[in-house]
A = this chain, B = another copy of it.
Amino acid sequence: MPKQTFFNLPEEKKEKLIETAIDEFSKQSFKNASINKIAENAGVAKGSLYQYFEDKKDLYKHIFDIAGSKKQEYLIGWMHQLQHLDFIEIIRELYVKGIEFALENPKLAALANHFIKESDVKFKEEIMGVGIEKSNLFFEELIENAKKNGEVSKEIDTKVGAYIITNLNTSIMDYTLNKMEYEDILKHKEMLLDNVDKMLFIIRNGFKS
């Protein structure tokens, strides 16, 4: 948690700082990101940074929380209409919303992407708390429900299914972020969505002819 001093700061200064930190952490992994650069680019003395945050991890955690909130905010308006969609449609929407979020908030998406690739499991747990499991659990419930509805074959292992869906989701994200630099975004989005549909066709029907 940031210190009280940070919250007392004028809004403008807070935002500038957060913006700068997001910028750095979206370019570098936690370890390689530089407190010095954040301080410099935010136009703040390094000493001040340590008056606002306990340490580097505290700063990162706060930035990470903000990214999480932003994404949640992004999804929340859409969550309630989820009931009218079938299994594949829900997954599609999730993938699509993810892509859209990444295109609109590339830095936040890149930040999350760096975090996912982090190999230090203890560090991950420290930052995320119990939230790690949430995404997987969501998909598991989704599959369980779809099984009851008869939309999804009962022969399928729920956990493995959720694992596949999650992994393809993160790999779409990765793909999106990497391609983003090279191509014009709009054309690119079309292509991405096209690929999502092709992917979902396979997810739904499998490779079998």
- Residues of A near any B CB (own CB < 8 A): 29, 31-32, 87-88, 113-114, 117, 119, 121, 143, 146-147, 150-157, 160-161, 163-164, 167-168, 171, 175, 178, 195, 198-199, 201-209
A203 interface neighbour in B147, B152, B206, Cβ under 8 Å: B206
Given contact pairs A198-B157, A202-B161, A207 touches B119 in the complex (Cβ within 8 A):
no
Q: How far is the CA of A198 from the CA of B155 in the complex (A)?
A: 9
* A209 and B151 contacting across the interface, CB-CB below 8 Å: yes
Q: Given the known inter-chain contacts A160-B195, A164-B168, please indicate yes or no for A204 contacting B208, CB distance below 8 A.
A: yes
Q: B207 near A156 (CB under 8 angstroms)?
A: yes
Q: Are B205 and A164 in contact (CB under 8 A)?
A: no
Q: Please name all residues of chain B whose beta carbon is closer than 8 Å to the beta carbon of A157 when the two chains form the complex.
A: 195, 198, 201-202
User: Per a CB cutoff under 8 Å, which of B160, B168, B171, B206 touches A205?
Assistant: B206
CB pairs A–B below 8 angstroms (24 shown): A32-B32, A88-B207, A114-B119, A117-B119, A150-B209, A151-B207, A151-B208, A151-B209, A153-B205, A153-B207, A154-B209, A155-B201, A156-B202, A156-B207, A157-B202, A160-B198, A163-B175, A167-B167, A168-B168, A171-B171, A203-B206, A203-B207, A204-B207, A205-B208
